[in-house]
Amino acid sequence: MNGLKFFLVMSCICLVGFIGLPLERKQAKLSEHSIIPKPLEVVDREGSFAFKDGMGYQIDGDTDDLEYGIEFFTKFVKKSTGIELVQKDNAEINIAIDGSKEPESYSIEITPAGIVISAGAGQGAFYAFQTIRQLMPAEAEKGKTADIAIPAGKITDKPEYGYRGVMLDVSRHFFLVEDVKSLIDQVAKYKVNKLHLHLSDDQGWRIEIKSWPNLTNIGGSTQVGGGKGGFYTQEDYKDIIAYAASRYITVIPEIDMPGHTNAVLASYGQFNPGIELPEENRLAVDRKVLGVDGEDESATDLYTGIKVGFSTLDTKKEITYQFIEDVIREIAEITPGPYFHIGGDESLVTELEDYKPFIERAQAIVTKYGKTSIGWDEIAHAKLEENSIAQFWAKEKNIKLAADQGNKVIMSPSKHIYLDMKYDSTTRIGHTWAGLIEIDQAYNWEPTELVEGVGKELILGVEAPLWTESVENRQDIEFMVFPRITALAEIGWTPQGHRSFEDYKQRLKKHTARWDKMGMNYYRSPKLD
Ligand code: TNX
């Protein structure tokens, strides 16, 4: 009897094994692929399209911004299949640009005979290519993979929100241009289209301003922990912007004011109204070592700690406004994107009656130089310019003030999407003040449900900030950003009714194989097991 049982069990295992094998080899349907962010509509068809030697692409319709998308796609196909796609007539891959559609929208029709991409502009085509990339096996991320075929069907897709951003604080710790580019590449895959650079704070000024050179000579010379710091020359900054643009990402520069400005006060004492620096983590400025002539009695020490809220520009002096005008002008002149972020957060030592007119003047200067101003939610205490944008991070009542003035908002709820929060109590780096943010906490929120009375019509989009008090290098950035940025990307792209954490989790679980192939240092959440 026992022998018979054993025989039966073994035969079952073998049978399942034999049936299972071909099933597993069979290609997943289009709808079974783990695309992030989840596309709006996916229809399966029979068969698949195989990339083969001699294949090519053709472009129908006009657009001046397709070039980068094509460059990305042909390079990726070459790297993953070895095939050199060339432009030719009657090509297997057809890219049609239809300017009457929204620029970020796209559709992809895959048949055994070819692929037809239709997009509103180069940006939509780039997103179609990113989707196709995710239809290829994970191995394709690493290098040449034999025989790549993708399943037949049709994907029709477009974003829920036009603003889908990530913020990198390059002030608390400075990151090289190469590290910023790496982040740009990594987030572009998920159709993130904004990179907000937090370029100044108490601990460091990170962008060359030709009319005020001490900002970088002194203000850029250190960082949290007292390390070397650094800054971007205007040429570096333009390089980052051009690189981001080639991934259809707009850069938003932020100069935080009137608070978070100790790096300014250490560089030019004339803007210091007499602030009190925290006792710990001061660093005396050695002007000789830094190559700066003369003395400056009113300048503060540099600050290398992580306290916030102790600094302010002197809002009562006229020269302060000349200074911020120079800064805004120089940066606006080399920023092609429409936005300029004026910070405005945690100005705890600026009296409200001084804060409000300061913000109003700063906004007016931004407008004068042709940009739209964005500020952290506190700016809504001031009278906002018609098109100014408030960025929600802390206080719902501030966002209500902005909404009452009819201004649009960007949603960055700290308790859900602050990338500097720890995942759990064991996370090596990061803070906990907004809570622990595991992947479900990062995913389970909806922009229209954060602030009562602030619905879709007032929401420009979403952004995940990475503050870097404890983030020191590229590996740390990857660890805090991934996987959480994919949650942000999906919340910004996919309408609420089309997404759920369970479904996202299943896709993410498979998707991490790609990050393994790329050698990324992402957080391996126990929630994915
Ligand atoms: C609050 S969020 C800040 C930053 C800090 C961050 C740390 C915001 C507008 N201000 O200055 O880096 O907390 O989590």
pLDDT in tens, 465-483: 999 999 999 999 999 999 9
Distance CA 388, CA 320 (A): 22
Q: Is the pLDDT confidence value at 331 over 50?
A: yes
- The pLDDT, as a whole number, for residue 5 is 57
By most ligand atoms within 8 Å of CB, the mutation choice from 379, 467, 468, 480 for ligand 1 is 467
Query: Does ligand 1 lie within 6 Å of residue 420's CB atom?
Result: yes
282's tokens: 């001061």
Residues in CB range of 346: below 8 A, 6 or more apart: 259, 260, 308, 309, 376, 378
Residues in CB range of 82: below 8 A, 6 or more apart: 144
Q: Is the pLDDT confidence value at 24 over 90?
A: no
- The pLDDT, as a whole number, for residue 458 is 98
By most ligand atoms within 8 Å of CB, the mutation choice from 345, 378, 409, 463 for ligand 1 is 345
- The pLDDT, as a whole number, for residue 27 is 77
- The pLDDT, as a whole number, for residue 146 is 77
413 C-alpha vs ligand 1 centroid, how far in Å? 12
Distance CA 195, CA 13 (A): 52
Q: Is the pLDDT confidence value at 281 over 50?
A: yes
Query: Does ligand 1 lie within 6 Å of residue 308's CB atom?
Result: yes
Q: How confident is the model at residue 319 (pLDDT cuts 50, 70, 90)?
A: very high
pLDDT tens for residues 381-395?
Answer: 999 999 999 999 999
Q: Whose CA is nearest to atom 6 of ligand 1?
A: 467
Query: Does ligand 1 lie within 6 Å of residue 256's CB atom?
Result: no
Q: How confident is the model at residue 6 (pLDDT cuts 50, 70, 90)?
A: low
Query: Taking residues 272-288, what's their average pLDDT?
Result: 97
424 C-alpha vs ligand 1 centroid, how far in Å? 19
Q: What is the mean pLDDT of the chain?
A: 95
- The pLDDT, as a whole number, for residue 107 is 98
- Describe the strand order of the beta sheet including 149-157 as a list of residue ranges: 41-50, 149-157, 106-111, 114-119, 93-97, 56-60, 86-87
- The pLDDT, as a whole number, for residue 314 is 98
Query: Taking residues 217-241, what's their average pLDDT?
Result: 98
Atom of ligand 1 nearest to the CA of 376: 9
Query: Does ligand 1 lie within 6 Å of residue 268's CB atom?
Result: no
Percentage of the residues of the chain whose pLDDT score is greater than 70: 95
Q: Is the pLDDT confidence value at 3 over 80?
A: no
Query: Does ligand 1 lie within 6 Å of residue 378's CB atom?
Result: no
- The pLDDT, as a whole number, for residue 148 is 93
- The pLDDT, as a whole number, for residue 441 is 98
Distance CA 472, CA 494 (A): 32
Atom of ligand 1 nearest to the CA of 467: 12
467 C-alpha vs ligand 1 centroid, how far in Å? 7
Helices (H), 110-209: 122-135, 177-188
Distance CA 299, CA 316 (A): 17
- The pLDDT, as a whole number, for residue 16 is 45
Q: Is the pLDDT confidence value at 53 over 60?
A: yes
pLDDT tens for residues 79-105?
Answer: 999 999 999 999 999 999 999 999 999
309 C-alpha vs ligand 1 centroid, how far in Å? 10
Query: Does ligand 1 lie within 6 Å of residue 393's CB atom?
Result: yes
Q: Per mean pLDDT, which range of 21-30, 236-245, 516-525 is the poorest? A: 21-30
Atom of ligand 1 nearest to the CA of 346: 10
Q: Whose CA is nearest to atom 10 of ligand 1?
A: 345
Helices (H), 223-345: 234-245, 262-267, 318-333
Query: Does ligand 1 lie within 6 Å of residue 463's CB atom?
Result: no
Q: Whose CA is nearest to atom 12 of ligand 1?
A: 467
- The pLDDT, as a whole number, for residue 8 is 55
- The pLDDT, as a whole number, for residue 63 is 80
Q: Is the pLDDT confidence value at 519 over 80?
A: yes
Query: Taking residues 355-368, what's their average pLDDT?
Result: 98
Distance CA 362, CA 367 (A): 9
- The pLDDT, as a whole number, for residue 145 is 82
Instruction: Tell which residue, 289, 273, 270, 282, has the closest CA to residue 218.
Output: 289
- The pLDDT, as a whole number, for residue 452 is 95
Backbone phi, then psi, for 513, in 5-degree steps? -55, -35
By most ligand atoms within 8 Å of CB, the mutation choice from 167, 260, 261, 308 for ligand 1 is 308
173 C-alpha vs ligand 1 centroid, how far in Å? 14
Atom of ligand 1 nearest to the CA of 433: 14
Q: Per mean pLDDT, which range of 22-31, 103-112, 193-202, 309-318 is the poorest? A: 22-31
Q: Is the pLDDT confidence value at 78 over 70?
A: yes
pLDDT tens for residues 128-171?
Answer: 999 999 999 999 999 888 789 999 999 999 999 999 999 999 99
- The pLDDT, as a whole number, for residue 422 is 98
Q: Per mean pLDDT, which range of 19-33, 273-287, 489-503 is the poorest? A: 19-33
Which candidate in 104, 208, 325, 346 is catalytic?
346
105's tokens: 């929208």
Q: Is the pLDDT confidence value at 23 over 70?
A: no
Atom of ligand 1 nearest to the CA of 345: 9
- The pLDDT, as a whole number, for residue 21 is 41
Distance CA 308, CA 172 (A): 11
Q: Whose CA is nearest to atom 2 of ligand 1?
A: 393
Query: Taking residues 435-439, what's their average pLDDT?
Result: 98
- The pLDDT, as a whole number, for residue 11 is 52
Query: Does ligand 1 lie within 6 Å of residue 431's CB atom?
Result: yes
272's tokens: 């210091």
Has 276 been annotated as catalytic? Answer: no
Q: How confident is the model at residue 512 (pLDDT cuts 50, 70, 90)?
A: very high
pLDDT tens for residues 442-467?
Answer: 999 999 999 999 999 999 999 999 99
